[in-house]
């Protein structure tokens, strides 16, 4: 198995990070897309083997009532607020995807992650909007991944991922992925962001991966100790390889 380990965001200066870990999942792209020129700069300063993944812009998945919208550079006009979020097949959401796609290409990313809030549950309207949006956008060679939150059961999420050709993103300490060409884990910390993973917990993850038949796995740490935990996980993996 090819293993890619990284953090959700840069917990260290990029120059240090690039020399230490082989992967990063950009978080900034969720709150406010960087300029394409900035994305090109990040790609050019990183080593050739380094891989970027990114979260899709929140305009596509989150409604403007989300507190995360406070970090937008240009607030959404009141008359446009009903057009955004929840995978609505609106011109505004399609434009937000087009701009996300441009950043992904500048970074030479292979995977874009859609993260939906707990308020986006498995109701008929939400599923219908997901189907229409994700079957009509241009993927242009990208793999699309989805991390559902809230009331989705693993079976419901997996069925939709299979239908829409999405990678089912999970925290392996909360559930197991049900579909996807690769494994994509986001480790949020057992019990919360302040959790520091023990060697026993990291060894458990290695054991799961060793038993998998998948050819590639992405393991992203998203806890306060992500920098240290990601490096320890790589060390444990290498010792057991």
pLDDT tens column, 33-59: 999 999 999 999 999 999 999 999 999
pLDDT tens column, 204-238: 999 999 999 999 999 999 999 999 999 999 999 99
Q: Where are the domains of the chain?
A: 2-240
**What kind and span of H or E run contains 2?**
strand 2-8
State how far the Cα of 17 lies from the Cα of 11, in Å rounded to an integer: 8
Burial of 45: CB neighbours in 10 Å, binned 0-12, 13-18, 19+: exposed
* Mean pLDDT (the chain, rounded): 97
pLDDT tens column, 59-107: 999 999 999 999 999 999 999 999 999 999 999 999 999 999 999 999 9
State how far the Cα of 110 lies from the Cα of 177, in Å rounded to an integer: 19
CATH of 2-240, one of 3.20.20.410, 3.30.930.10, 3.10.590.10, 3.10.110.10: 3.20.20.410
State pTM to two decimals. Answer: 0.96
Report the DSSP beta bridge partners of residue 47: none
Radius of gyration of the chain (CA): 18
pLDDT value, residue 91: 98
pLDDT value, residue 241: 86
pLDDT value, residue 119: 96
């Amino acid at each position: 198995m090819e293993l890619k380990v990284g953090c959700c965001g840069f917990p260290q200066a990029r120059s240090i990070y690039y020399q230490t870990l082989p992967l990063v999942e950009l978080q900034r792209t969720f709150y406010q897309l960087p300029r394409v020129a900035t994305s090109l700069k990040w790609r050019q300063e990183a080593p050739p083997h380094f891989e970027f993944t990114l979260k899709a812009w929140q305009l596509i998945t989150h409604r403007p009532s989300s507190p995360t919208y406070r970090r937008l550079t240009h607030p959404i006009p009141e008359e446009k607020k009903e057009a955004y979020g929840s995978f609505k097949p609106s011109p505004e959401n399609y434009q937000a995807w087009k701009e996300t796609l441009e950043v992904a290409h500048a970074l030479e990313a292979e995977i874009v992650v859609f993260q939906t809030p707990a308020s986006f549950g498995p109701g008929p309207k939400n599923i219908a909007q997901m189907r229409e949006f994700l079957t009509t956008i241009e993927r242009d060679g990208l793999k699309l991944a989805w991390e559902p939150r809230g009331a989705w059961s693993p079976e419901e999420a997996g069925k939709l991922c299979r239908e829409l050709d999405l990678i089912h993103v999970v925290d392996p300490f909360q559930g197991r992925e049900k579909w996807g060409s690769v494994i994509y884990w986001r480790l949020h910390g057992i019990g919360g962001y302040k959790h520091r993973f023990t060697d026993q917990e990291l060894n458990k993850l290695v054991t799961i991966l060793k038993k998998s038949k998948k050819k590639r796995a992405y393991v992203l740490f998203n806890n306060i100790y992500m920098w240290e935990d990601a490096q320890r996980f790589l060390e444990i993996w290498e010792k057991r390889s």
